[in-house]
Amino acid sequence: MGELASVIFTAEFLGNSLRFATPLILAAMGGVVNERTGVLNLGMDGMMLIGAFSAFAGSYFTGNAWMGVLIAVISCLLIGLLHAFCTVTLVMNQVVVAVAINTFSMGLASSLLRTLFGTSTSALRSPGFENIAWPQALQDLPFFGPVLFQQTIFVYIAILAVPTIWWVFFKSTWGLSIRAVGEYPKAAETMGVSVTKVRYLALLFAGAMGGLSGAALSITGLNTFIDNMTAGRGFIAFACIIFGRFHPVGAGLGALMFGLAQGLQLRIQTVGIPMPYQIPIMFPYIITIVLLVAMGSGSVPAGWGTPYYPDEE
């Protein structure tokens, strides 16, 4: 067993896992903000899908990966705006809106892929992000090199996002408004905090992070887009938030856990370990459910998932 562990838990494995975790962290940091304002956003997968596609398309047509990122963020801001308009202004059911956004995004990305790039998409490559060119000495560090210094910029953005969001939540006036709106919107409103504004901004932010996350999927390494590229990662990001009890650090750890599970799955398949590779992927979902049960119902923001009606009697 110890031997087996040494085959699995290598620096390469941890580096891969961190890479797998990156889009999850980015999406979860966006999601945790809007969830904390009380909007249940299951539409992250759609946002990521649009982000992945527009990053690829933007990068392909402009020839610049950074332009791809910019276009991804802008596209996802629009999706975030649509989400906010439907759930906040029109007070529509948040789950229904998310289901519609996911379906729409899937349709839009696949359709545009075919109409813009024709049917033979397999060979298309856009400019993408390479690993950061750290000094060779750092890259060659035993263990730390492969884990920390052979990564793309997105990994570092993701790692920085976690303390940043933590700081916003607990050390800034914005965070106080966000938390209050999620727990008790009416109280926030009476204190002069606009629930509508806070929820709009949070969903726009979630959109922007979804865009980054999507870009981290499509234009790092593969540099292409394939149908349903997110494969439910937006939902996993949501699970990470639940796992982390709506706390940014917890959500980040959740994303790492899912990343490790994915790394483990890859490892099992490449090393040829006699165990179904599905088991490690299923594991984090089960853990999250168990945690939910252990935490009970009190651990979610009190106003979560319930629409807020401005001045309805």
Partner 1 sequence: MGIVLELEKITKIFPKVIANKDVDLKLEQGEVHALLGENGAGKSTLMNCLYGLYRQDGGKIYVRGEEVTINNSDDAIKLGIGMVHQHFMLVPELTVAENIILGLKSAKEPLLNLAAAEKKIKALSDKYNFGINPKDKVRTLPVGIQQRVEILKVLYREADILILDEATAVLTPQEVDELFKVVKKLTKEGKSVLIITHKLEEVMALSNQVTVLRDGEVAGNVRTVDTNPTELANMMVGREVLFEFEEKEMDLKEVYIETKNLKVVDKKGVTRVNDLSMKIHGGEILGIAGVDGNGQNELAEAITGMIPFQEGSVVIKGVEKTKLDVRDVYEQGVSHIPQDRHHTGLVLPMSIKENLVLTDHYLEPYSNKGVFNKDVVDEHGAEMIEQYYIKAPDAGVPTRELSGGNQQKIILARELCREPDILVAVQPSRGLDIGATEFVRQKLIDQRDRGAAVLLVSTELEEILQVSDRIAVMYEGEFMGVVKNGEASISEIGLMMAGTRRSNIESQGEVE
Partner 2 sequence: MGEDNKKSLGFASRINWSGIVTPLIGIALGLSVGAIFIWSQGVNPLHAYYYLLEGSLLSWASLSGTLVKTVPLALTGLAVLYSYKSEIFNIGAEGQVYMGAIGATIIGINFPNVPAPLHILMVLVFAGILGGAFAFIPGYLKAYKGINEIVVTMLMNYIALYFLSMIVQGPLKEPDSFFPRSVPLVDTAVLPKLFGSHLHIGIVFAVVLAIFLSWFFRRTTTGFKMIAAGHNPNALHYAGVNVKMLLTKVMVVSGFIAGAAGAVEIMGVHGRLIENFSIGLGYDAIAVALLANLSPLGVLLSALFFGALKTGANSMQISTGIPVSFVYMVQAMVILFVVASKEMPRIIAIYNKRRRVKKNG
- Calpha distance 58→78 (Å, rounded): 15
Amino acid at position 313, single letter: E
Name the binder of 102 from partner 1, partner 2, none, CB < 5-8 A by kind: partner 2
Say how many C-beta atoms besides its own lie within 10 A of residue 48's C-beta: 37
Closest residue by Cα to residue 49 from 229, 250, 204, 295: 229
**Residues from 226 through 255 that contact partner 2 (CB under 8 A):** 227, 232, 235-236, 238-239, 242
With H, G, I as helix, E, B as strand and everything else as coil, classify residue 129.
Answer: strand
Stretch that binds partner 2, among 24-32, 58-66, 159-167, 276-284 (CB under 8 A): 276-284
Pair 40, 166: CB distance under 8 Å: no
Residues 41-70 as x/- pattern, contact with partner 2 by CB under 8 A: -x----------------------------
Residue number with CB closer to partner 1 (39 or 148) = 39
- Calpha distance 207→144 (Å, rounded): 32
Closest residue by Cα to residue 224 from 233, 232, 215: 215
Q: Which one of residues 57, 71, 180, 261 is an interface residue with partner 1 (CB under 8 A)?
A: 180
- Calpha distance 306→290 (Å, rounded): 24
Q: Which one of residues 110, 139, 194, 196 is an interface residue with partner 2 (CB under 8 A)?
A: 110
Pair 301, 182: CB distance under 8 Å: yes
Pair 220, 152: CB distance under 8 Å: yes
Q: Which one of residues 114, 125, 186, 197 is an interface residue with partner 1 (CB under 8 A)?
A: 186
Question: Which residues touch 210 (CB under 8 Å, ≥6 apart)?
Answer: 27, 30, 44, 47, 48, 50, 51, 76, 79, 80, 234
With H, G, I as helix, E, B as strand and everything else as coil, classify residue 230.
Answer: coil
Question: Which residues touch 111 (CB under 8 Å, ≥6 apart)?
Answer: none
Residue number with CB closer to partner 1 (46 or 182) = 182
Q: What is the nearest approach in angstroms of partner 1 to the Cβ of residue 174?
A: 6
Name the binder of 173 from partner 1, partner 2, none, CB < 5-8 A by kind: partner 1
Residue number with CB closer to partner 1 (114 or 171) = 171
Stretch that binds partner 2, among 22-30, 50-58, 61-69, 290-298 (CB under 8 A): 290-298
269 counts as binding partner 2 under rule CB under 8 A:
no
Closest residue by Cα to residue 245 from 36, 20, 86, 88: 36
Q: What is the nearest approach in angstroms of partner 1 to the Cβ of residue 32?
A: 16
Name the binder of 186 from partner 1, partner 2, none, CB < 5-8 A by kind: partner 1
Q: Which residues bind partner 1 (CB under 8 A)?
A: 170-177, 179-180, 183-184, 186-193, 301-302, 311, 313
Q: Which residues bind partner 2 (CB under 8 A)?
A: 40, 42, 86, 89-93, 95-97, 99-104, 106-108, 110-111, 114-115, 227, 232, 235-236, 238-239, 242, 276, 278-279, 281-282, 285-286, 288-289, 292-293, 296-297, 300, 304-305, 309-312
